[in-house]
Structure 1
Amino acid sequence: MLRILFSPRLVALHLLAIGALVVCGLLGRWQLGVFEESGRPHAVLDPAPVAVSTLSQPGRHLTADAVSRQVTAEGTFDAAKQLLVAERDGGLWLLTPLDLGDGTQIPVVRGWVPAAGDPATAVPEGRVTVTGRLRPSESTDSVQRRVRQLPPGQVLTVSSAELINLWPGTKLRNGFVVATAQSPAPVVAARPVNVSPPTESGVLTWRNLAYAAQWWIFGLFAVFMWWHFVRDALRGRAQERDPDPEPAAV
């Protein structure tokens, strides 16, 4: 039996079957990878900064294409209303409203500090120009269920609904800006908060999943054909050893 299995013809068949399995397996895995990658969010065109007033309006939710867009805002910080956003990467965000001079304000995350007494918490005076990325208002549902008491002047989320209550009399634009640059630069700057550029949801390409299944089916078919030829070879050898008896003469 071993002599048959390792005959030159069957050895070539074994190698061909192994090669077919490897090729079909790799091609199927490649198509599966294309399918998985198609469903992941991917970066889109990141336009140049625009005035925040063109994307954020009081009382209106941000549109999907406005999220994470680069924006600029010019005005003066209202130091009396500054808040610290707790539990952010082991530290706090500096949240300060920027008065745009048109009767509205936009919350600005000026940066991250490790503790409430950090020198970077000092609010810059005078007119500034902030460049950053626009983010939607955060949800407060999970916060309302918590019983932990925060120190005065601290919050857990940057929520427009909550800020309206904390800053009464303020006409607040929706969302908030995460600052990436400020002019003039502050004397002591907080560490910038990282914000990803705009992304677009992926669309699964089911065709590639079908291609992956097709390649794996080809691989299984190669195994079947290998088994079929090996079986026939073994049967043929067995028949050569035990030929059918000749019919008796009449």
Structure 2
Amino acid sequence: MMLRPRWIGALVLALALAAGFAWLGQWQLERAVESGTVIDAPSETVLPLAQVAKPNGPITDKATGQLVTVTGTFVPTDYELLQGRLNKGTAGWWVVAHVTVEDAASGHPVALAVARGWAADKPTAESAMARLANEESVPQEIVGRLLPTEAPEVPTDKSHPTVMTTMSVAALYNLWSGVDGVDVYSAYVVERTPPPGLVKIDSPPPIQESTLNWLNVFYAAEWIIFAGFAIFFWYRLVKDAKQREDEERELAQETALAAGKVE
């Protein structure tokens, strides 16, 4: 039945229509992406830290990855090392610091964690840390990317229980001096310009989000449905024609049988 020339021709026509509808659906999807709205997060505009984050609370999604500036004093006795920190795929060491910032609203000191730079090996990191600890404690402007605190990690190496691998503000706060009762930012800043002897920590801006044009997506779905309907319509035509021929054949057989009995 389906191999008859007219039905083969109808199938070719249905497939051509389905291909055309599918192409239109793909075109509508491309339009949905192209005409989508990009959610622009101005993370690369340097803003005052106090404008985007407050002490003693998590930072917002909007503030995550924001470049900020703040003036504070590095505490020379509170430098720490973090090991196993990846920088462009290479494991190494972070030199992290405790910075005392003055809260503009209350005038009280606030503790802030700052990741100053990366080193490929521990001796280099320790040398830079020792040099930084000997610098004069004066207020400095710090510019860097604001990131949320990481969860503390239980040391797996029992022989070195003090080794840190995560940038946990809570863990650092317990190691810092003179912070009892002092407010703290639940986030840290990755310094944009590292001090001499350290490499800049790779901290790319947040990925921009985009929204689809849902009207185009709806049109694309319609064209896909039309493509499927073209094939289904051909199938129904063939099925109905076969059923009609079968009924006519049965009727002819019954008529012939009845005529034979009459004779």
Equivalent residue for 2:50, pick from 53, 68, 77:
53
Which amino acid in the other structure matches residue 98 of structure 1?
Answer: V
* TM-score after normalising by structure 1: 0.70
Check 1:77–1:107 CA distance in 2 against 1; reply closer, same or farther (3 A cut).
Answer: same
Corresponding residue SS for 1:16? helix
Q: Quick one: structure 1 residues 149 and 29, their matched pair in 2 at CA, closer, same or farther if it must change by over 3 Å?
A: farther
Partner residue, 2:198:
189
Alignment map for 1:36-185 (pairs within 5 Å): 44-46=41-43, 48-89=45-86, 90-100=91-101, 103-118=109-124, 121-122=128-129, 123-124=131-132, 125-126=135-136, 128-140=140-152, 143-144=153-154, 147-149=156-158, 151=160, 154-170=163-179, 171=182, 172-181=184-193
Q: Which moved more, 1:236-245 or 1:127-136?
A: 236-245
Structure 1, unmatched stretches of 5+, are none
By how many angstroms is 1:55 displaced?
3.0
Report how far residue 231 of structure 1 moved. Answer: 4.9
Task: Note the C-alpha offset of 1:238.
Answer: 9.2
**Matched-pair contact (CA < 8 Å) for 2:192–2:200:** no
What's the % identity of the aligned pairs?
28
Distance in 1 separating the partners of 2:157 and 2:212 = 42
Q: Determine the structure 2 residue equivalent to 1:223.
A: 231
Q: Quick one: distance in 1 between partners of 2:150 and 2:8? A: 66
Question: Tell me, what secondary structure is at the counterpart of 2:58?
Answer: coil
Which whole-Å CA distance do the structure 2 matches of 1:227 and 1:209 have between them?
Answer: 28
Residues in 1 aligned to 2:46 and 2:168: alpha-carbon distance in whole angstroms = 23
- Is this contact kept in 2: 1:179–1:193, CA < 8 A? no
* Paired residues of 1:178 and 1:195 also in contact (CA < 8 A): no
| Pairwise CA distance, 1:167 | 0.8
CA distance in 1, matches of 2:120, 2:52: 31
Deviation at 1:71, TM superposition (A): 0.2
Deviation of 1:106 after TM superposition, in Å, equals 1.6
Question: What is the alpha-carbon distance in structure 2 between the residues aligned to residue 21 and residue 153 of structure 1?
Answer: 66
Query: Residues 145 and 203 of structure 2 are in contact (CA less than 8 Å); yes or no, is this contact kept in structure 1?
Result: no
What stretches of structure 2 of length at least 5 have no aligned partner? 104-108
* 1:141-187 residue CA offsets vs partner (Å, 9 max, x unmatched): xx24x5434747642222222222111422333310012235xxx33
Give, as a single letter, the amino acid of the residue that structure 2 aligns with 1:195.
P
CA RMSD of aligned residues (A): 4.3
Shift of 1:222: 0.9
Structure 1 CA distance, aligned partners of 2:230 and 2:12?
11
The one-character-per-residue Cα deviations of 1:26-49 (angstroms, maximum 9, x if unpaired) are 555666788999xxx965333621
Q: Is the CA contact 1:67–1:198 (under 8 Å) kept in the aligned structure 2?
A: no
Paired amino acid for 2:45 = A
What is the aligned residue count?
237
Q: Name the SS of the counterpart of 2:199 in structure 1.
A: coil
Cα offsets for 1:49-107 (capped at 9, x unmatched): 12223333332332332221110123343332111222222222221123336633321
